[in-house]
Chains A and B, each alone.
Chain A
Amino acid sequence: SQTIHQWPATLVQPVGSPLSLECTVEGTSNPNLYWYRQAAGRGLQLLFYSVGIGQISSEVPQNLSASRPQDRQFILSSKKLLLSDSGFYLCAWTVTGEETQYFGPGTRLLVL
């Protein structure tokens, strides 16, 4: 069966520090991968999605970036965090050609 992992679960970082959040999927090949951010009590904002290794589409211009170095690995990064980067970051995957998304447990990021 397929599983999706995210780490860390919680992160507290100072403003201006770098960020690296990792997401890995097991049990499937060539998934579509997604990064979302959810502000407290709000809906999900799509940040990046990827349909294959090295293929990244950005939905919102900001100081975040994403990379997909391996088929089932998706990384969200920042060189310098802003206070506004605080939120709940969710990774998700779909089978190529299908619509249902499967979400990871999320990473709660607090930038101070």
Chain B
Amino acid sequence: SQQGEEDPQALSIQEGENATMNCSYKTSINNLQWYRQNSGRGLVHLILIRSNEREKHSGRLRVTLDTSKKSSSLLITASRAADTASYFCATGRDDKIIFGKGTRLHILP
């Protein structure tokens, strides 16, 4: 079963704008991760935030986690054409992580 649900399912923005994607989950977690998948490729890990953290930054990425609302957001600032991809949140529990269905992000030139 899938734990995380990303919102929106698809997002198109102009190059240079910021992109925000959200993830909601249902049960308690140890951590939450965001991954990126270019079309037809494997997933690439972007960032991990632990349950006792509220915000984390990595380059143009900013992730927040609200465990009281069981939600997380991924912000990509100053988007580029190369950011076009699908983005997945994944919640960690025991030795497994469970992925959501993803947000398809399309950066328009």
Contacts and interface: CB of A to CB of B under 8 A. Distances in A.
Interface string B39-77: 011111100100000000000000000000000000000
Between A32, A45, A90, A100, the greatest number of chain B beta carbons within 10 A of the residue's beta carbon is seen for A100
Interface in B52-105: 88, 90, 92, 95-102, 104
B30 interface: yes
B contacts with A: majority SS: strand
Given A99-B30, A101-B97, A44 B44 contact: no
Nearest to B10: A41
- Contact-size category for B: 20 to 34
B88 to A, nearest CB: 6
A contacts with B: majority SS: strand
Given A90-B42, A103-B44, A105-B41, A44 B99 contact: yes
A104 interface: yes
A103 B43 contact: yes
Contact of B88 (A44, A49, A99, A106): A44
Contacts of B35: 101
Contacts of A102: 45
Shortest Cβ-Cβ A-B pairs, 7 listed? A103-B42, A43-B101, A44-B99, A103-B43, A99-B92, A100-B45, A43-B99
Nearest to B5: A43
Interface in A51-81: 51, 59
